Amino acid sequence: MLYGVDFMANNKMVVANLKMNMMVEDVASYLHQIASIDNQNVIICPTALYIPYFLNNNYHVGLQDIFFDSNLICTGEISANQASRIGITHALIGHSDRRIYFQESEQMIQKKLVECLKFGIAPILCVGETAEERGMMRTERVIKRQITSALRGIDKKDLIHVIIAYEPVWAIGSNSNGNTPSNKEIEDMAQYINGLIFQLYQVRIPILYGGNVDDKNVSSILENTSVSGVVVGGVALDPKRFLKVLNVIFAE
């Protein structure tokens, strides 16, 4: 079993979600520019096409999504079984892109999470409210529903391998106009999620924040004591800024 990396509760973690970005001719230069990264708490999630390049360069690699049943042979998908054999340690599950563009249901997300755990892949469960839900003061209710439905049937010995990423949909990427929650809002949500997990399982698991994190706001986001790390999208595409983010987080 792989189960991610040896994540220590007091270490910070960075997940880079590269989405569909980058053309193949740019991958070598990207890898060259980030070559100084030698940190087991940095997980890179490139488009599936480029995964071997990252694995061959000794990065910890995560999938951006995974199929929900390794026995059900399905066109166009990647199974957890295949992923673990090739050395993939993590998978994003339920990213808002998937929930929005593929209408991924909470039931489907739960199955994907179970499937990851079955094959020793650490699932990074993405949860987050839309602007509309936030406007209706439903944030906590939505997050609670997303988490409890995804964790249905998961026992404590598996739960400890799960990572939760709080990513408000309205703060993610190009749709966000640079908006992010305030520090206090991030801390409050991380605390809320910690409390919920503790109530259900009496343990703590890493809670990450994602949504417009960059080299300028990362240090204040990580001042939040309940936040164990960040998911970065846009800023990870610029090697210089990505390295700055890592420097802020990991510099002693």
Active site residues: 95, 167
For ligand PGA, which is the closer residue by CB, 113 or 127?
127
**Per-residue binding letters, 150-169, with ligand PGA (x by CB under 6 A):** -----------------x--
Q: How far is the CB of 163 from ligand PGA (least distance, A)?
A: 13
Q: According to CB under 6 A, which one of 91, 117, 127, 172 is a site residue for ligand PGA? A: 172
Q: How far is the CB of 229 from ligand PGA (least distance, A)?
A: 12
For ligand PGA, which is the closer residue by CB, 144 or 241?
241
Q: How far is the CB of 217 from ligand PGA (least distance, A)?
A: 11
| Closest residue by beta carbon to ligand PGA | 233
Under rule CB under 6 A, how many of the chain's residues touch ligand PGA?
Answer: 12
For ligand PGA, which is the closer residue by CB, 4 or 94?
94
Task: Output the CA–CA distances (angstroms, integers) from residue 251 to 11, 145, 217, 246, in the order listed.
Answer: 12, 37, 16, 8
Site for ligand PGA, residues 191 to 230, rule: CB under 6 A: 210-213
For ligand PGA, which is the closer residue by CB, 70 or 212?
212
Q: How far is the CB of 96 from ligand PGA (least distance, A)?
A: 7
In the 3-class helix/strand/coil scheme, how is the chain assigned residue by residue?
CCCCCCCCCCCCEEEEECCCCCCHHHHHHHHHHCCCCCCCCEEEECCHHHHHHHHHCCCEEEECCCCCCCCCCCCCCCCHHHHHHHCCCEEEECCHHHHHHCCCCHHHHHHHHHHHHHCCCEEEEEECCCHHHHHCCCHHHHHHHHHHHHCCCCCHHHHCCCEEEECCHHHCHHHHCCCCCCHHHHHHHHHHHHHHHHHHHCCCCCEEEECCCCCCCHHHHCCCCCCCEEEECHHHHCHHHHHHHHHHHHCC
41: contact with ligand PGA by CB under 6 A: no
- Span from 47-55, 71-79, 108-116, 231-239 in contact with ligand PGA (CB under 6 A): 231-239
Give CA–CA dist 231/13, Å, rounded: 9
Site for ligand PGA, residues 6 to 35, rule: CB under 6 A: 17
Q: How far is the CB of 137 from ligand PGA (least distance, A)?
A: 23
Q: Where does residue 232 fall: left (phi above 0), alpha (psi -120 to 50 degrees), or beta otherwise? A: beta
232: contact with ligand PGA by CB under 6 A: yes
Q: According to CB under 6 A, which one of 146, 209, 234, 249 is a site residue for ligand PGA? A: 234
Give CA–CA dist 128/69, Å, rounded: 25
Give the footprint of ligand PGA on this chain (CB under 6 A): 17, 167, 172-173, 210-213, 231-234
